[in-house]
Amino acid sequence: MAVHSMSRVGDEGEVPSASIRYVDDSVRTVPFSVLRLADFADSVPWRQFRSVRGQRHYSGTYMSATTAGPVVHESRLELARLLLADFDPAVRGIYGQPCRLMARIGDRVRRHVPDFLLVMRSGTARVVIAKSADRLGEPKVSEALAWPGELVERCGWEYEVWSGADPVVLANVRFLAAYRRPGVVPEEDVRAAWQSVRDGDELAVAERRLAGGRPAHEVRPALMALLWSGRLVTDLSRPISGDSVLRRCA
């Protein structure tokens, strides 16, 4: 499947492009060959939607710690990928429904709105499309996913079709996300926890030392906040428990 390069200027789709919507409701269409991350400054999601009773899709907004603002999603699968992106220290920016891609494929003009654009600390970008694994084998779905990948990778960006993660890892990250926002745990509690915890502590041991005779549940949020921030790490392939081993990373 080939994404056509420019042949007839002005013909829709002949120049592969990204259309971006901005806060003033204007739309700018940029040839993908010259698209830059700066083009997304002051942009808003391509589609506007709202949650209504009885709808089939699980749409909404997620308050991201990475962006310090809301990011849209339209399914539980998208929300799961969004959680993992927010938790990932390699990600420094997240755009939901960042643009509409358009290109001529054969004799047809094709359009697609990616689910996310992740801005990586390495300086590159990653276009993410979330699609359930049971649909990846459908010919129409495979075709719809192939041409955006060719377009994105041709321009030096990364492309990801995401269908899920280890359910234990995802459950742990979902749990830790409750502690992601500044102010949820008082900063002085987080500082005290950081000063108290030792590299290699089991979680239960770290809690007892920090609690100093108080109930352990009173100090647990500070340790969870440190795990969310990445200053502490543990094996997330196992459910977080009292015997989870903590490692200091900063």
Going by pLDDT thresholds of 50, 70 and 90, the confidence category of residue 225 is: very high
Query: In this prediction, what percent of the chain has a pLDDT beyond 70?
Result: 91
CA pair distance 35, 6, nearest whole angstrom: 15
CA pair distance 242, 204, nearest whole angstrom: 4
CA pair distance 86, 222, nearest whole angstrom: 19
- The CATH 3.40.1350.10 domain(s) of the chain lie at 17-162
pLDDT of residue 155: 85
Answer yes or no: pTM beyond 0.85: yes
pLDDT of residue 10: 42
CA pair distance 32, 195, nearest whole angstrom: 49
Query: Among 20-34, 49-63, 218-232, where is mean pLDDT lowest?
Result: 49-63
Helices 220-229 and 203-211 cross at an angle (nearest 10°) of 130
For 51-110, write each residue's pLDDT tens digit: 555 555 678 999 999 999 999 999 999 999 999 999 999 999 999 999 999 999 888 899
Q: Are 54 and 63 in contact (CB under 8 A)?
A: no
pLDDT of residue 3: 52
Start-end of H helices in 88-199:
139-154, 167-176, 187-196
pLDDT of residue 150: 92
Specify the fold of 17-162: Trna Endonuclease; Chain: A, domain 1 (3.40.1350)
For 109-122, write each residue's pLDDT tens digit: 999 999 999 999 99
pLDDT of residue 48: 76
Q: Are 77 and 164 in contact (CB under 8 A)?
A: yes
pLDDT of residue 64: 97
For 32-46, write each residue's pLDDT tens digit: 989 999 999 999 999
Degrees to nearest 5, angle at CA 188 with 236 and 192: 60
Higher pLDDT among residues 178 and 7, named by residue = 178
